[in-house]
Structures are given as C-alpha cells and as structure tokens.
A and B are shown apart, each in its own frame.
Chain A
Amino acid sequence: MKSVLPVLTVIGAIVLFWLAAVVPMNMHLVADQAQRDGLVVMPETPVERQEYGGIGLSLRNLHLVPLTYDFVRPRLPSPQQVASEMYDTIFDKKITSKRSLVYHGWVTLAPTLLGFVIGTSLGIMLAVGIVYSRVMDRSVMPWAIVSQTIPILALAPMVIVVLGSMGIQGLFPKSLIAAYLSFFPVVVGMVKGLRAPDAMQLDLLRTYHASGAQGFWALRLPASTPYLFASLKIGISASLVGTIVAELPTGARAGFGARMLVGDQYGQPLVSWAALFAAALTAAALVGLFSMIERITLKRMGMSAA
C-alpha cells in the first residue's frame, strides 16, 4: 500500500508531460484552422509558420493554446479527448454496435483466450515430456530457447492471410498466433519449475518408495506453481499483443487492431487512441487477474508470493 503515492506521482508526471506536449504537437494545425476562422495568427502565412518549431509558434500565439486541447483531428489528442472518446464508445454505445469498443474488445479477447488456453496446455504437456525424456530435452529444448529470439510476431498478419486463403477463417487463425506466443514462455518456465525440486527432496520421495506418478503429482507439479504463474503472466500479455498485431494490417473489420488502423486511415486519430488505451486496459486487467489468482493460490499452498 505504501507504493500508492509514488505510483500516482509517476502517472501524474506522465500525464503532465502529455498535456505539455499537446500544445506544440498540434499548434501548426490549430494555427491554420484559426486563420481560416478569422482569428489573428502571428506569422501570417502557413509557409512562414513552417519555419517555426511547435514550441516557438506556441509562444507567439499564446491565445491559441486552449484551442489545441480540443482540436477535432489532432496529431496528439489531449488526455480528456481520449477519455471522453473511450467513455463514449464503451458506455454510451450498444454492445452490438459496430462502434462499441466493448464489441471490438470481445472480438480481440475471444481468440486471445482460446489461443492462450491451447498454447498453455500444449506448453505444459511438452514441458512434462522434456523433463521426463532425455531425447526430447536434448533435441527440442535448444529450439524452444532459440525460438524466443525470433521476431515471429511480425509475421502474424501473413499467417492469418495464408490460413484465410485455405478457407480457415474467424476465431481460429488468430487463436493460433496467440497459442504460439504463449506456448514457449510456458514451456521454458514449466521446465524450470518441474526441475525446481532439489536432489534432497527427490531422494526423500525415493525413500518413501513413491512411484514416478506420485513424485510428479506430490512434488514436481506443486513445486512448479510459482514458475507457472510467472509464465502465465508473460503468456497472456504476449497472446493479446499477438492477436492485436494479427488484426493490424490484414484488413480485419473488427477488433482493437482493426480499430487502430481504421482511425489511422480515415483521419480519426481519436478512434486509434481510444482503441490503444482500451487494449492497454485489457492487458492490464488480464495480467492483474493472474496476479490475483497467483497470490491466492500461493498463499493457500503455503508459499509466499515472490
């Protein structure tokens, strides 16, 4: 609880920086518009204004500063514009409406969750295989580690189109990306977790004459729980990012990624920014949810959350 005030301070500093940046970022556009509306603008022609930077122009036209905060098509929207656009599209639109962010959020969230469940289950199974089979460990594990250094996310849009051309559409292609991205963090984390019990503990089970299966359920699996949660938190945010990137350049009609692109292409920056922040909130909510489950589970298992 003692970190609430510092966190608020840092967030406040970021918002202040944003507020300060809005003026110079939008000043040229606002000055052009103000001149068309018959207001006095200091250097009188747009060509002369181009010679000034954003800050210089703002200092010469202090009376225009308030206008930069509610310009219709800003280069950088102000925080209150983004907030009101988000409020508008989340609460004031019907959920079924094509302009509702809740609708687009669900379009993105559904494949993310499906893919996450698939990727996590396969990842845990592969991790068990790697821990119990020497051959799997030696041949697959190096590739699992190398694969994390490959920018596979950049290819997500291509995968969507290839699958689409094979007649596979809808939820599945995006889930595939989400599954792939959550798969390897879970494999690597779970292998580490299942190997976490030390020789002493394994020996103790051997003196109890425990079978392999008992050793797995009573020792290895519980011991791997903290590692599993760490991987799950990485995996869920990677899945969400994957789904959004998959939606970005493929001409998807719905979802956060599609909204970001639509706002960009049709000159509605507010739509892009609202989608961006909504995606951020979704990611935060998912990671927060897993942190909560982690804390409760570890507490009940008698391990303190790290």
Chain B
Amino acid sequence: MSLVFAALVVWAAGWWINVRLANGPSADSTVVKILVPAIFGLTVVVIWELLVQGFEVNPVILPAPSAILERLLVEGPRLWADFHQTIIKGAMSGYVIGGLAAFCVAVLADRSDFLTRGILPVGSFMAALPIVGTAPIFVKWLGSDWESKAAVVAVMVFFPILVNTVAGLRDTTVMQRDLMRTYGAGYWPTLFKLRLPAAMPFVFNGLKIATTLALIGAIVAEFFGSPTVGMGFRISTSFGQLALDMVWAEIVIAALAGSTFYGVMTLIEKRMTFWHPSQR
C-alpha cells in the first residue's frame, strides 16, 4: 500500500515541478521545453512501476517497466535480429520501392492535366482504405520472407506519397511559370529548377506520413506468416508464451524505430526545404 501512496506523491511532485517550470521565468528556454515533457514521461513510467508493484499486478497482464528494461538489455542480439529482419529488410525496402514508384507515377501523370484531376481524388480515397488487410494475400503470393512484407509496405506508402507529390507539382504560381517561359526554359528545366523544388514540402509531408505506415505494414504482415525472426513474429509468439515483458520490449523498439525514422525524415526535410516559410 505504501508503494501506491508513493505513486501518488510522485505524481503530485512531478506535476508541481512542471507547473513551476512551465509558468516560471525561464519557461521559453530550450532546456525547459525539453525538460517539461521529459519529467512528464518519467513520472508516468515511475507511477507505472510503483502501481504494478504496489497492486502486485500479474506480469501476464502488465509487466513493470523494470522488467521490460531488463529484457531490452538481456535480449539485445535477438531484438537486433528482429529489428534487422522487419525494419531494415521489410519496411525500408518497401518504403523505398513504394516511394520511388509513387514519385515516378506522379511525375508521369503530371504531364497531363486530365490524369492529374483523376489521380488526386482516387489516390486520396485509396490512402484512406484499410490496405493493411491485403497483408494475408501478399503473404500467400510472395511467401513468408521479407519480400511479402516489402510488398505490403510498398502498396501502403504508395498512395499518400503519390497524392502529395501530384499536389506538390501543381503548387507553382502562374507568375513563376511565366518567368521560366521568359527564360526560354522547356519542360525538363522547368521541372527540375522550379516545379520539383516547389513540390518538396508536399513530398516530405507524404514521406513523413508514410514512415509510420511502413512500420505498421511490416509488423502486421508478419502476423500472417514469417520466418522465425522478426518483430511481428516475436510479438505474436512471445504473446503465446505469455512473456509480456518481451512483447513490451519489442513495442519499445518499434516506438524508438518509428520516432527515429520520422525524425530522420524531418531532418532531411529541413536541409532540403530550408527556403520554405514553415522551416524559417
């Protein structure tokens, strides 16, 4: 019971510190901006630990953060193998294939205004569909190794990137295009010097949406058949063995991978679209 009481104290203390920091004089400094969410996250984890121990929650239902951390440290090599199979082989290759395909289709379709007007609504409609449901079909077609996962991921990321690229290529003003014409620039110079750079903020928007989709696709597809390695495989088998701490360890890895992937795309975006108002 004292642990439960301690959890309440930790919650109150964390909240009090955050109130002081967020309303204090240095509230707008970078340190505080990072410190406040960090304290919030840490408080949640500590409360989780204390409540699980205090109420003696069955580890089959909810393991304590300390048990998950132990798993992460002990099972390092195995988690790395799963990460390699699912994220690097499955998600990344699918992401690259789907992204390139979408980009090429967008540039080709862009030559015709008629096609563009057709692709935009159809593409945004397809992007809202539960495409992840095709996972069992792809596993059946391409076998259980990473190729089927890459295929699911490629189809899932295709439409958001397509729609954003097509929309981006249309995002130049008449004035800008006229300027290019006065320079005597043909289709290709206009594409490379004006329209592709102008489309970049849109393209990166699509690429960022697609990062999460890629991970989801790769993990979910493994539920329908996989070699004996991979994050989805590990999640479902560990779950069958009631090793919930292992499941959560994989969840932590997936979360870290997802945030890193997204973060990397944001960094590249910053470097490439430094001229855009949203980056200044």
Chain A positions within 8 Å of B, measured between CB atoms, are 2-3, 5-11, 14, 75, 134-135, 137-143, 146, 148-151, 153-155, 157-158, 161-162, 165-166, 233, 237, 240-241, 244-245, 248-249, 256-257, 260-261, 264, 269, 272-273, 275-276, 279-280, 283-284, 287
Contact = CB atoms under 8 A, between A and B. Distances in A.
Interface of B: 15, 18-19, 21-23, 27, 32-33, 36-37, 39-41, 60-62, 114-122, 125, 128-130, 132-137, 140-141, 211-212, 215-216, 219-220, 223-224, 232, 235-236, 239, 244, 247, 251, 254-255, 258-259, 261-263
Contacts of A134: 22-23, 27
Contact of B125 (A137, A162, A165, A284): A284
B254 A154 contact: yes
A10 B119 contact: yes
12 contacts: A3-B117, A6-B115, A138-B32, A151-B219, A151-B255, A154-B215, A155-B235, A157-B223, A245-B130, A257-B133, A260-B136, A284-B129
A240 B128 CA distance: 10
Contacts of A256: 130, 133
Given A139-B22, A139-B37, A166-B61, A272 B137 contact: yes
A139 B36 contact: yes
A265 B30 CA distance: 54
A195 B119 CA distance: 33
- What is the interface of chain A mostly: helix, strand, loop, or mixed? helix
Given A3-B117, A5-B118, A153-B220, 20 more contacts: A8-B118, A134-B22, A135-B22, A139-B37, A143-B37, A146-B259, A149-B212, A150-B258, A153-B216, A155-B251, A157-B223, A162-B62, A162-B244, A237-B128, A244-B130, A260-B133, A264-B140, A264-B224, A276-B134, A283-B129
Contacts of A273: 137
A283 B33 contact: no
A3 B212 contact: no
B137 to A, nearest CB: 7
B137 A264 contact: yes
A191 B8 CA distance: 29
A149 B251 contact: no
Nearest to B33: A138
A139 B224 contact: no
Contacts of B118: 3, 5-11
Nearest to B127: A237
Contacts of B116: 6
A75 B140 contact: yes
Given A3-B117, A264-B137, A245 B132 contact: yes
Most chain-A Cβ atoms within 10 A of its Cβ — which of B33, B36, B135, B236?
Answer: B36
